Amino acid sequence: MNSGRILTLGFGLFLVGIPSLASVPEAGVPGGVEPWVRVRVGEWKNTFEIRGYDLVFQALSTREPAFIGSKSKTRPHRFTANRGTEWKIDCPGSGRVRVTLASDPSIRYEAQSPVRVESPSGFVRIEDRPFRSQVYFYGAKGTRGCEAVNKLPIEKYLEGLVNSEFNSRWNRDAIDAQVVAARTYAYHEIIEAKKRPQEHFDLESTTKDQVYEGAQKEDFLASQSVSRTRGQILTARSSVKPMKAYYHSTCGGETALPEEVWGKAEPGFERKVVCPYCKTSPAFSWEGVFSKKTLIERVLAGLKFPKFPFPTIGKSEMEFTLTAFAKKGGRRIQEVLLSWNGGLHELKSRIPAQKFRLWVGPVELKSTNFEIFSLNGDSVVFRGRGYGHGVGMCQWGAKEMGSEGFNSRKILSHYYPDAVVRRTW
């Protein structure tokens, strides 16, 4: 990188022009090339603090007139901060991205387009968390706020993911099976994201998709599992495309099909699976208790019930009935019927159970495999089994299967009986 020209700017900071650090292969149909994944790691925040060694800032539009303050004539849309520095990134609106040196706010640049940050060390720290490869900052089109997206090779992403979603100290076959499921899910989302060109990312870094906290949780066991299963994905038998390989914490005895939970079938899921393995999970059976006031407020908020004065809900407005409906022969609740008479307002509503669960609180109401145990007094008590949506692999079940000596392929074929494993890169 020393081949670049060194410029000394008026404010005493050394800037070096260097070639781009990485070429990014295209993700697409399986074809032997490891795709890169774009993970949203920061959502519309006003300011991000970033640190790194020899950070390279690059405005994405090469038509960018210049970073304000940059005096380089050859590469006006790029600059390198010499040695270890700390910067603040904020987005003042209209898609602009502003980069300010933390130790001297007079050193400031502003781009009209998104900005990519990378470092020859391979890491960029955001709020003290290390992220591999590249971080992109997008400015909100209208008002203030930036979005941060980490772009990195999918296998490196998985190494960081293991100890957020699972635990690398679990049995190695259980971890291998989970890594294959997580790789498949991520690859599926990379392909799906191409249908949403207005978005800049493939996956959220939260439980909305898969929890990812950067490179800080990588360890040797996680890396080994990722390299043992490199490129392996699950597909429906007649397809080479990655399936949407859902997984969840604890099925509670039986998995669910996507159409039961979200009303839409997915390739690769044809049969439910009986799971005798997750009894050791702390969420195998549970009780969820809500005050009536909390429950009705959350449901009404979920229904966007109009003009309801939430803070003033009175005693007489807490009375309601709830009825839960399962499919014949099924354990999971499909719909909840709420009848509520709040004096001036009256409501009778059939709510899909998955929505109901997310509205009232998915941590307290851990699954849709529940019964309404009591609706007396001031509280509502649910009793249920399992944690999560119930589709695909049961993580606690996979852990137990691994401990009992099943290998990773057996674990995968147990929870995805209609899928096959293919190696794609």
> Using CB under 5 A as the criterion, which residues of the chain lie in contact with Zn ion when the complex forms?
251, 275, 278, 394, 397
**Cβ of residue 175: shortest distance to Zn ion, in angstroms?**
17
Of the candidates 50, 62, 69, which has an alpha carbon nearest to the alpha carbon of residue 9?
69
**Cβ of residue 180: shortest distance to Zn ion, in angstroms?**
18
**Cβ of residue 100: shortest distance to Zn ion, in angstroms?**
50
Q: Which residue has the tokens 């007396």?
A: 376
Q: Are 24 and 417 in contact (CB under 8 A)?
A: no
**Cβ of residue 275: shortest distance to Zn ion, in angstroms?**
3
Q: Are 25 and 146 in contact (CB under 8 A)?
A: no
Query: Nearer to Zn ion by C-beta: 258 or 397?
Result: 397
Strand ranges (E), 262-319: 285-291
**Positive or negative: CA dihedral 268, 272, 274, 275:** positive
Element (H, E) at 100: strand 96-101
**Cβ of residue 362: shortest distance to Zn ion, in angstroms?**
18
Query: Nearer to Zn ion by C-beta: 36 or 396?
Result: 396
**Cβ of residue 401: shortest distance to Zn ion, in angstroms?**
9
Query: Nearer to Zn ion by C-beta: 116 or 366?
Result: 366
Query: Nearer to Zn ion by C-beta: 216 or 403?
Result: 403
Query: Nearer to Zn ion by C-beta: 274 or 301?
Result: 274
Query: Nearer to Zn ion by C-beta: 130 or 253?
Result: 253
Of the candidates 201, 197, 221, 224, which has an alpha carbon nearest to the alpha carbon of residue 212?
201
CA–CA separation, 157 and 222 (whole Å): 11
β-pair type (84-93, 47-53):
antiparallel
Q: Are 406 and 414 in contact (CB under 8 A)?
A: yes
Element (H, E) at 177: helix 172-193
CA–CA separation, 53 and 122 (whole Å): 9
Element (H, E) at 36: strand 36-45
CA–CA separation, 286 and 2 (whole Å): 61
Query: Nearer to Zn ion by C-beta: 88 or 272?
Result: 272
CA–CA separation, 416 and 392 (whole Å): 6
β-pair type (96-101, 108-111):
antiparallel
**Cβ of residue 407: shortest distance to Zn ion, in angstroms?**
18
Query: Nearer to Zn ion by C-beta: 56 or 251?
Result: 251
**Cβ of residue 108: shortest distance to Zn ion, in angstroms?**
54
